[in-house]
Structure 1
Amino acid sequence: MKPKKVPGIPSQVSGGYHDTESIQKIQNIHEIDSKFNILKDRFFNINEWGSYCVKHTVEFNHCDPSGKLVQRSPQIGDYINILLTKINNPKVEDYQWVQIDMIDNTNPDRLMIQCRPSKLPGNEFAGKTVHFYSSGSSSTFIISKGKDYIKMSIYGRNEKINKDAGFISNIKNKFFTLTGMTGSSKIQWKCIADGIVDIK
């Protein structure tokens, strides 16, 4: 199966990819706007994303450009760190770090946040990418609405192992990337997308 061609999503050139989509059909069309507003609130509250996936332990932290945890709508240049498994007293390097490089809210029916693996905040011009994928990969999160549905999508493109992370980190990156390619990371993304879009 080829990757979907979606407006605003980087072209797939090489490496792995995934297309994760979750749709909630809405029978009463008069509820679409109100449910989409709830979805927008969830979408922009990044710190709570992990709570919508009850089957897997995933933690998301929204940080400003200095790396400080914040509770606000995301902005270009902000960071998100992600803890994929529960760890007692995790170190900063135990997280997967991405930086938001694009936000598109020009279409009221479709909102987008795009991230790329990053170095630690404050180390934009030094240090190593702290993520199991290389900086050339991308993750794009989109919410949208139609005549009878609301939808959350997550698209990964050009996912390659980050080989520039030090010896121990390289071993971990290979492990995470291989398990991701066999479907475990897609299962986590699907769980999160399903949970966020599930609005009663």
Structure 2
Amino acid sequence: MKKNINSCKLVPGIPAQTEGGFHDTESEKVYENIVEAKYAYQLLKMRLLDINHWQDYCAMSFAKFRLYNTKGSFKESVLSRHDLVRINVYASPELGTIYYWVKISDIFFEEYEEFERTVIIFIPTSHPRNQQSEIAHFYSSTSSSAFVINRRGNILSAAVYGRNETPNLDTNFLGKIKNRIISFCAVVGLSKVQWRNFTDGILNTNGISMSGD
């Protein structure tokens, strides 16, 4: 299924869409005033940067995310550009858990009175201890996923933007078949449902005081 790239949302700082599939997954929450929105933004910013606990904030059952340095050692500390993230996806009782790897290609912040934004961009990468440098992901290295927290006035939004989603064919025969199937499922919208759970979940501040106390 081929999508019309003209329907792809243009987002400043996000890689341009040129080939393959894409998705724009966004959730929004309106606060009573800017003071509450600013406080909530700082909370959500900390959540976005705390990759090791994404599944806790968002109640994600489909995947767990773990932060590593470029040498493949687990990190509890704050993430930085070029760090790696291992995505643990439970496939089935027969296959068990499958591990995919992405690299943080960029991370940036924008902070103004009326507008604030935190952006993390991931691209598929190889296992840090793989001498052959084979991409350990079902998407190719030209694909990207951008995770964004945004505040405009008293409105907060969370988004995941997938761009240039093409299957990783730089693998063995069975790997090519598997990657084609998984990437096709993502293109037709199955992954969008999962990312909607993420964007809705990370915005959920119910039961948390917005007073800053």
Q: TM-score, normalised by structure 2?
A: 0.85
Residue 154 (structure 2) pairs with residue 179 (structure 1): no
Question: Which residue of 86, 95, 118 maps to 1:111?
Answer: 118
Question: Which residue of 102, 107, 123 maps to 2:106?
Answer: 102
Report Cα offsets for 1:80-113 as digits up to 9, x if no partner.
111232667967xx21110001111243611111
The equivalent of 1:126 in structure 2 is 132
Deviation at 1:30, TM superposition (A): 2.3
Contact 1:58 1:86 in 2 (8 A): no
Secondary structure, counterpart of 1:157 in structure 2: strand
CA distance in 2 between partners of 1:188 and 1:36 (Å): 22
The equivalent of 1:156 in structure 2 is 162
Task: Report the AA paired with residue 22 of structure 2.
Answer: Y
CA distance in 1 between partners of 2:26 and 2:188 (Å): 18
Q: How does 1:131-146 map to 2 (within 5 A)?
A: 131-146=137-152
Question: Which residue of 28, 37, 49 maps to 2:33?
Answer: 28
Residue 49 (structure 2) pairs with residue 44 (structure 1): yes
Secondary structure, counterpart of 2:160 in structure 1: strand
Percent of aligned positions that are identical: 35
Secondary structure, counterpart of 1:195 in structure 2: helix
Q: Which 10-residue stretch deviates more, 101-110 or 58-67?
A: 101-110
Task: Report the AA paired with residue 29 of structure 1.
Answer: I
The equivalent of 1:169 in structure 2 is 175
Contact 2:47 2:57 in 1 (8 A): no
Q: Provide the aligned length of Structure 1 versus Structure 2.
A: 197
Q: Which 10-residue stretch deviates more, 23-32 or 40-49?
A: 23-32
Report Cα offsets for 1:150-183 as digits up to 9, x if no partner.
1111111100010012222222211211111121
CA distance in 2 between partners of 1:83 and 1:122 (Å): 17
Report Cα offsets for 1:117-145 as digits up to 9, x if no partner.
0011144x733101000000111111111
The equivalent of 2:211 in structure 1 is none
CA distance in 1 between partners of 2:201 and 2:72 (Å): 27
Task: Report the AA paired with residue 51 of structure 2.
Answer: I
CA distance in 1 between partners of 2:41 and 2:188 (Å): 33
Q: Which blocks of at least 5 consecutive residues in structure 2 are unaligned?
A: 207-213
* C-alpha RMSD of the superposition: 2.0
The equivalent of 1:77 in structure 2 is 82
Task: Report the AA paired with residue 125 of structure 2.
Answer: S
Contact 2:22 2:165 in 1 (8 A): yes
Secondary structure, counterpart of 2:43 in structure 1: helix
CA distance in 1 between partners of 2:171 and 2:188 (Å): 22
Question: Which residue of 72, 87, 90 maps to 1:67?
Answer: 72
Report Cα offsets for 1:57-87 as digits up to 9, x if no partner.
3211111111122112211110111123266
Runs of 4+ in 1 over 4 A off after TM superposition: 86-91
Q: Which 10-residue stretch deviates more, 176-185 or 50-59?
A: 50-59
Q: Which blocks of at least 5 consecutive residues in structure 1 are unaligned?
A: none
